[in-house]
Amino acid sequence: MKAEKIRNLTGDELQHQERDLADQLFKLKFQMNMGQTESLKKIRGLRRDIARVQTIRREQELAAAKTAPGKTEKK
Protein backbone atom coordinates (compact mmCIF):
# COMPACT_ATOMS: atom_id res chain seq x y z
CA MET A 1 0.00 0.00 0.00
CA LYS A 2 1.32 3.40 -0.95
CA ALA A 3 1.79 6.17 1.61
CA GLU A 4 -0.09 8.65 -0.60
CA LYS A 5 -3.17 6.44 -0.56
CA ILE A 6 -2.96 6.14 3.22
CA ARG A 7 -2.55 9.91 3.70
CA ASN A 8 -5.91 10.51 1.97
CA LEU A 9 -7.79 8.45 4.57
CA THR A 10 -9.58 9.92 7.57
CA GLY A 11 -8.78 9.02 11.17
CA ASP A 12 -11.55 6.44 11.43
CA GLU A 13 -10.58 4.90 8.09
CA LEU A 14 -6.95 4.69 9.24
CA GLN A 15 -7.99 2.95 12.44
CA HIS A 16 -10.16 0.51 10.47
CA GLN A 17 -7.32 -0.11 7.98
CA GLU A 18 -4.86 -0.80 10.81
CA ARG A 19 -7.28 -3.27 12.41
CA ASP A 20 -7.79 -5.08 9.08
CA LEU A 21 -4.05 -5.31 8.43
CA ALA A 22 -3.38 -6.59 11.95
CA ASP A 23 -6.09 -9.22 11.48
CA GLN A 24 -4.59 -10.33 8.17
CA LEU A 25 -1.14 -10.53 9.79
CA PHE A 26 -2.51 -12.64 12.62
CA LYS A 27 -4.14 -15.06 10.18
CA LEU A 28 -0.96 -15.37 8.10
CA LYS A 29 1.17 -16.01 11.19
CA PHE A 30 -1.31 -18.63 12.34
CA GLN A 31 -1.22 -20.34 8.94
CA MET A 32 2.56 -20.24 8.94
CA ASN A 33 2.74 -21.86 12.38
CA MET A 34 0.36 -24.57 11.22
CA GLY A 35 2.56 -25.23 8.21
CA GLN A 36 -0.06 -24.21 5.67
CA THR A 37 1.88 -21.34 4.11
CA GLU A 38 5.40 -20.03 3.79
CA SER A 39 4.72 -16.51 2.57
CA LEU A 40 7.31 -14.43 4.40
CA LYS A 41 7.03 -11.67 1.80
CA LYS A 42 3.36 -11.17 2.62
CA ILE A 43 4.10 -11.03 6.34
CA ARG A 44 6.85 -8.47 5.83
CA GLY A 45 4.62 -6.40 3.58
CA LEU A 46 1.79 -6.42 6.11
CA ARG A 47 4.12 -5.40 8.92
CA ARG A 48 5.39 -2.50 6.83
CA ASP A 49 1.85 -1.44 5.89
CA ILE A 50 0.86 -1.46 9.57
CA ALA A 51 3.89 0.68 10.38
CA ARG A 52 2.97 3.12 7.59
CA VAL A 53 -0.58 3.46 8.87
CA GLN A 54 0.60 3.99 12.46
CA THR A 55 3.16 6.58 11.36
CA ILE A 56 0.63 8.56 9.36
CA ARG A 57 -1.91 8.39 12.21
CA ARG A 58 0.72 9.79 14.56
CA GLU A 59 1.64 12.54 12.08
CA GLN A 60 -2.02 13.54 11.86
CA GLU A 61 -2.37 13.53 15.65
CA LEU A 62 0.67 15.78 16.03
CA ALA A 63 -0.56 18.12 13.30
CA ALA A 64 -3.98 18.35 14.96
CA ALA A 65 -2.41 19.03 18.36
CA LYS A 66 -0.17 21.69 16.87
CA THR A 67 -3.04 23.55 15.22
CA ALA A 68 -5.46 23.20 18.14
CA PRO A 69 -5.38 26.40 20.21
CA GLY A 70 -4.97 26.14 23.96
CA LYS A 71 -3.78 22.57 24.03
CA THR A 72 -0.34 21.70 25.31
CA GLU A 73 1.58 18.50 24.92
CA LYS A 74 2.36 16.37 27.95
CA LYS A 75 5.94 15.34 28.39
CATH number of the structural domain spanning residue 61: 1.10.287.310
Q: What is the pLDDT of residue 75?
A: 58
Q: What is the pLDDT of residue 70?
A: 65
Domain that holds residue 44: 3-66
Letter for the amino acid at 26?
Answer: F
Q: What is the pLDDT of residue 48?
A: 95
Query: Is 73 part of a structural domain of the chain?
Result: no
Number of domain units in the chain: 1
pLDDT digit string (tens) for the chain, length 75 residues? 788 888 888 889 999 999 999 999 999 999 999 988 778 899 999 999 999 999 999 999 999 888 877 656 565
Q: Torsion-angle region of residue 71: left (phi > 0), alpha (psi -120 to 50) or beta? A: beta
Q: Are the C-beta atoms of 32 and 43 separated by less than 8 Å?
A: yes
Note the pTM of the prediction, 2 decimals. 0.80
Q: Are the C-beta atoms of 6 and 14 separated by less than 8 Å?
A: yes
